[in-house]
Amino acid sequence: MQIFLLLFVVTLALTMWARGKYRTAYDEELKNVARSGLTGAELARRILAERGIEVVEIARGRGLLADYYDPAKKRLTLAPQHFSGSTYAALGVAAHEAGHVLQHREGHHPLNWRISAIRATLWLSLPLVLLGIFMIIMPGFGKTGIFLLCGGWSLVAGYNLVTLPVELDASERARQVLDGMRPKPFSCMEERLGVERMMRSASGAHVDGIFTVISWLGSWFLPAAEPDGEKKEKKPLN
């Protein structure tokens, strides 16, 4: 039991650290807007074009997996605020997702592990949420319920953490393409550094697994709850 609790604590700590790093970078880079007016969709398309990838559709996404590349359908979807947004946050997320397309094109097999982790998260999250509600209604469920809840969450979160290198690799592949792009997509070094920071941080965007699902469900039932990035873009400071 002690080993199990240690695993849960370590997994929770790593998950919260990665998620917190992403949220901090996202909130800060959301305030900065690219002077060129380049949108996330346009940057993603330019990255793919640099590698001669023309068959992938870039579409406006919605729902739980708004930012996601589907290898089977060859479709890259971006959340509305990332698809048409010009903030450093939007550009960084779009470039990161384009990196997954590069992985698929270049036969990076661990990408399949990451897709499996996402599917496992979707399938297991709802039962875990229902179990948590049941435990609140029926407190007598006791230690067995807590064990199942913590064990299920640790499994989902752990699987997402194991595939974190795949996310880091996607950002690195996209960064290499941006470095060699002519003309340069950014008007100054500040834009480049801000977008690259967001790309690195985007690697930890969904490592929390079930909490991402709960946040999305909450946005349907709580008017004040907003998914990531559902904020108005601010104009750059003069």
pTM given for the model: 0.77
Q: For 78-97, give the DSSP string.
A: E-HHHHS--BHHHHHHHHHH
Q: Which residue carries 């708004």 as its tokens?
A: 66
Question: If 0-12 CB within 10 Å is exposed, 13-18 middle and 19+ buried, where does residue 24 land?
Answer: exposed
**pLDDT, tens digit, for every residue of 74-114?**
999 999 999 999 999 999 999 999 999 999 999 999 898 88
pLDDT-wise least confident of 7-21, 36-50, 115-129:
115-129
Length of the chain: 238
Q: Phi-psi category of 54—alpha, beta or left, where left has phi over 0 and alpha has psi -120 to 50?
A: alpha
Mean pLDDT of 37-42: 95
Distance between CA atoms of residues 71 and 104, nearest Å: 7
